[in-house]
Amino acid sequence: MNVVPLATHSVRALRDTLVAHGWGAEPANAAAGGGEPVALHLTGLDDPALEALVRYAGRLGLDVHTGDGWAILAGTRWRLGAFARPWTAPPELAELATRVGLAIPADASPSWLTARGPLPLHQPVLVGILNVTPDSFSDGGRHHGVDHARLHADRLIAEGAQVVDIGGESTRPGRDAAVPEAEELSRVLPVIRAVVADHPDVLVSIDTVKAGVARAALSEGAAAINDVTAFRLDPTMADVAAAGKAGVVLMHSRGSITEIASYAHADYDGDVTGAVIAELAEAVAAAVARGVAPEAIVVDPGLGFSKTPEQSALLCDRLAALRGLGRPVLVGPSRKRFVGALAGIDAPADRDRATAVACALAWERGARLFRVHDVAATREALAVAHGIAG
């Protein structure tokens, strides 16, 4: 007789063990996913609900830790799925069962739907940053102008970028005014046109908060819209995305375009992860209500935006919680202040190796798209992370 522990930080150990005992790949994957451990934080519970929760969850083999109005409910996805059946739960737990079902992490989406078709997500997807602004925080002015931008796009793609994200308005800390739409258009449209012509098989996304810029970019061949305010500042952006069948990235942030990189709105009442998930869920629902296909939506926790370095690091560690939104996750830790703070590196341009480490950790926690300045370093780190995780 022998007893060997199985690693539970990923489903690979359970899946491979089942296959080794003769299971087929498909049922082994399903069983491994169902055996994934999940813990949920429940609040706003009255005493009858807490009492019913302890009794009912215990019968289902779930762990429950309770306090005054709160509980932590933990178990495998399978057992939590059994709890998430309002038609079998006690009446006082029917609403909670529904909410638990919505919060259980979803299976990873196989692709991201864009105006150019689906982009597979079974391997890490690198999104190369192409800022065509004179004032970006780490590379301002270096790629300003079509010729310089084309050369940089060539480099990003040669290093492994599958998406080139082109932006004409900086979100750097300390900005005091928004860029006029006409000026932003003059910066980005010639570059989009050139990159699409040079690399017809590569997806181009437009990094903008203005619906007019997004509409023009899509007409020039862009396939996706990356909005750092998740359509907060211009709700008509959703109409543009829906009409153009564009992929969208909804990034969490707070405040105006000149405030989002500051700490002006960084009070999350002690729960940055919960607040980000709740606000992104509202953004996703609003986009879908305006006609954006759910399959076209990617969510971004907005590391470094309206968050202190400590909050960004915590959110990066808890990325797996965003899977409850049911959408693929993109992260953009590239050269951010929290990366520099953790690594002890002051200059943003010197943070690329630290960025690559952050991306590898984010992959393990469920992120599938990675927006970075230095594609080569991140590609290598993600290749190792993906190879180990299987």
- Active-site residues: which are they? 336, 371
Q: What angle do CA 219, 220, 226 make, to 5 degrees?
A: 80
- For 66, the enclosing helix (H) or strand (E) is strand 63-66
CB contact at 8 A, 332 and 371: yes
Q: How many CB atoms lie within 10 A of CB 276?
A: 27
CA distance 324 to 277: 8
> Which amino acid is located at 258 in the chain?
T
CB contact at 8 A, 186 and 195: no
Max Cα–Cα distance, the chain, nearest Å: 74
Dihedral of the alpha carbons of 281, 287, 290, 292, in degrees to the nearest 10? -120
Task: Give 171: exposed, middle or buried? Use CB within 10 Å, 0-12, 13-18, 19+.
Answer: buried
- For 250, the enclosing helix (H) or strand (E) is strand 247-251
Helical segments of the chain, H only: 12-20, 25-34, 47-59, 77-83, 94-103, 146-158, 181-198, 211-219, 236-244, 272-289, 309-317, 337-343, 352-364, 375-389
CB contact at 8 A, 213 and 166: no
Provide CB contacts within 8 A for 156, sequence distance 6+.
128, 129, 130, 164, 375
